[in-house]
Amino acid sequence: MINRITWKQSAIFVLFSLIYIAAGKFGLSLAEINPSISTVWAPTGIALAALLYFGIEFWPAVLIGAFIVNVTTTGDITSSAIIAIGNAAEALLATFLINKFAGGRFFYDRAVNVKMFVFFSVIATAVSATVGILALSTSDFDSWTQTSQAWFGWWLGDLGAAIILTPSLLLIADTKLKIYRGVQALERLLFIISLVTVCYLVYGNVLENHPMGFLLIPLLVWAGLRFTQREAANSTLLIAVIAIIATYQGFGPFVKTYPVDTHVMLLGYLIVIAITTLFLASTVAERNRSKIKLSQAYEHALEGWSKALDLRDKETEGHTLRVAELTVKLAEKVGVSRREQAYIRRGALLHDIGKMAIPDNVLYKPGPLSEEEWIIMRKHPLYATQFLEGFEYSDTIKDIPYCHHEKFDGTGYPRGLKGKDIPICARIFAIADVWDAMRSDRPYRSSLNDKEAIEHMLSLSGTHFDPDILKVFLEMIGTEMLEPQRQSIKSRFWLRVGLGG
């Protein structure tokens, strides 16, 4: 086990170093301020992502990679060593601070951690730029102006890589690739087409280098609000790649007379839109997680409420949860959307909540109810709607408590609704409710077997139940009843194969 871990770590170390060197050599091939200074410095983003993901102990790969990149470019061992130390210190400092104060590699999940990530990136990249300029300033620059411009270009190049590339790499590593279909796939296709089109307009010299970079902002807002954090971060990265390539080819709104001005304008723009998108995506992700937690708490509260109702009636204990799950399964088979399935489950959990207002001497009467008592009992759907008034999504939830005693032929209560006038959720629930009641033991009778229960359900088709939904239900039940037989046959087959007979 130790050997496997060691070999794995060694492989990661070597691969990390090689990627760093390749990215560094590419960056320095674009250097214009100084042979050792590039405003396109992807190694910073790669190093920070690697140390956050694999562990801070891989920092020597940054030191070695940076040294090789610089010494093979300039041939100056001393300055290359100092620059390498600065690059390693940058990665170490940023990783330590982010791990300590910004949630580690998952900093992108919370807006407050994104703020700290940006702040620590600013500090760490300033350290690298300062160390690097000190290594070069004695011989490479003639004036303070040149030195300050070089420092600013170095710092922006490192900061841009940290802000744009690091989140994208971490999100790619931490999240699974999801295959979208239907409307979601169509929306993403439309987004990609829009993004590429606008990038072409802005950076393809179509608008004659007019300052139209702001046209991309609505698209990034679209990505931040509608898509995952991974997709939002990758959208920013794609824009950055297109903008850098176009600008170096002399196209786009950021091309100026002096290269320094060009690079400062471009990187400043890219860093600002990257930070904005990162903040927006993290805020939306937080909101979505809060909604999920709130929804789960809501579900737990409803389940607790339904259990409390069941505890009042030991004869039907567990019925509510069983029938709620069966209702959702049938709703899915019928073709109800996932969103509506959630509301249907809530309504099913509260289907008998109106009985809380029914007097115990009526609700638990051991014998038949009198006509007056039946009038009282039949009011429980009305009481349910009163209880649920003002609840979030109450219009959807109350359909089952209010209408689950309606019958398809119009003989039900409380309103005598008929056929498709009965809400579909109530028609679905009625089938699940009766099925569970027949398949459960009660003090006054034993449960029916599968055949008896199915025959009884069929006898109520078109009177109590919607025939179309009942057909789907019986097909679903038939499949579930046959599955154990299939598994038994399969087991016996493989047993015979294993025994050679």
Angle formed at CA 132 by CA 127 and CA 133, multiple of 5 degrees: 105
> What gap in Å lies between CA 399 and CA 331, rounded to an integer?
14
Domain co-membership, 347 together with 237: no
In a domain, 484, yes or no: no
**Section 367-371 average pLDDT:** 84
In a domain, 238, yes or no: yes
In a domain, 15, yes or no: yes
> What gap in Å lies between CA 256 and CA 120, rounded to an integer?
31
- Give the model's pLDDT for residue 489: 39
- Give the model's pLDDT for residue 209: 61
The answer on pLDDT for 462 being more than 50 is: yes
Domain co-membership, 19 together with 141: yes
Task: Report the percentage of the chain scoring pLDDT > 70.
Answer: 88
> What gap in Å lies between CA 147 and CA 37, rounded to an integer?
11
- Across the chain, mean pLDDT equals 87
> What gap in Å lies between CA 386 and CA 354, rounded to an integer?
8
> What gap in Å lies between CA 259 and CA 266, rounded to an integer?
11
In a domain, 199, yes or no: yes
Domain co-membership, 48 together with 135: yes
Domain co-membership, 220 together with 103: no
pLDDT: which is higher, 49 or 249: 49
The answer on pLDDT for 212 being more than 60 is: yes
- How many domains does the chain divide into? 3
The answer on pLDDT for 257 being more than 70 is: no
**Section 229-246 average pLDDT:** 95
Q: pLDDT (tens digit, 9 = 90+) per residue, 58-111?
A: 999 999 999 999 999 988 899 999 999 999 999 999 999 999 999 999 999 999
Burial label for 317, CB within 10 Å (0-12, 13-18, 19+), is middle
CB 264 within 8 Å of CB 273: no
Domain co-membership, 146 together with 1: yes
Under DSSP, the state recorded for 351 is: T
- Give the model's pLDDT for residue 492: 46
Domain co-membership, 72 together with 211: no
- Give the model's pLDDT for residue 392: 61
Place of tokens 């019928």: 334
Domain co-membership, 97 together with 191: no
Q: How many CB atoms lie within 10 A of CB 339?
A: 9
The answer on pLDDT for 1 being more than 50 is: no
CB 139 within 8 Å of CB 101: no
Structure-block tokens of residue 166: 């690091």
Q: How many CB atoms lie within 10 A of CB 183?
A: 8
Q: pLDDT (tens digit, 9 = 90+) per residue, 288-327?
A: 999 888 888 878 887 777 777 767 665 556 788 889 999 9
> What are φ and ψ of residue 37, in 5° steps?
-125, 125
Residue 469 CB partners (closer than 8 Å, separation 6+): 330, 334, 424, 427, 428, 431
In a domain, 308, yes or no: no
Range of the domain at 323: 314-477
The answer on pLDDT for 467 being more than 90 is: yes
In a domain, 94, yes or no: yes
pLDDT-derived band at 441 (thresholds 50, 70, 90) equals low
In a domain, 109, yes or no: yes
Domain co-membership, 332 together with 345: yes
> What gap in Å lies between CA 354 and CA 376, rounded to an integer?
11
**Section 141-155 average pLDDT:** 81
- Long-range CB contact pairs, 381-389, < 8 A, 24+: 381/354, 381/405, 381/413, 381/414, 382/354, 382/414, 383/353, 383/354, 383/355, 383/356, 383/357, 383/358, 384/350, 384/351, 384/352, 384/353, 384/354, 385/354, 387/353, 387/354, 387/356, 387/357, 388/350, 388/353
Q: Say which CATH number the domain at 365 has.
A: 1.10.3210.10
> What are φ and ψ of residue 477, in 5° steps?
-65, -40
pLDDT-derived band at 8 (thresholds 50, 70, 90) equals confident
Structure-block tokens of residue 94: 């940023």
Judged by average pLDDT, the poorest of 26-30, 340-344, 384-388 is 384-388
Place of tokens 């007379």: 257
Structure-block tokens of residue 90: 């940058």
Q: How many CB atoms lie within 10 A of CB 269?
A: 20
> What are φ and ψ of residue 163, in 5° steps?
-75, -40
Domain co-membership, 274 together with 322: no
Domain co-membership, 59 together with 157: yes
Q: Say which CATH number the domain at 65 has.
A: 1.10.1760.20
Instruction: Provide the whole-model pTM.
Output: 0.77
Domain co-membership, 144 together with 9: yes
In a domain, 298, yes or no: no
Domain co-membership, 160 together with 195: no
CA torsion, points 133, 134, 135, 138, in degrees to nearest 10? 100
pLDDT-derived band at 390 (thresholds 50, 70, 90) equals low
> What gap in Å lies between CA 94 and CA 25, rounded to an integer?
23
Under DSSP, the state recorded for 442 is: B
- Give the model's pLDDT for residue 446: 72
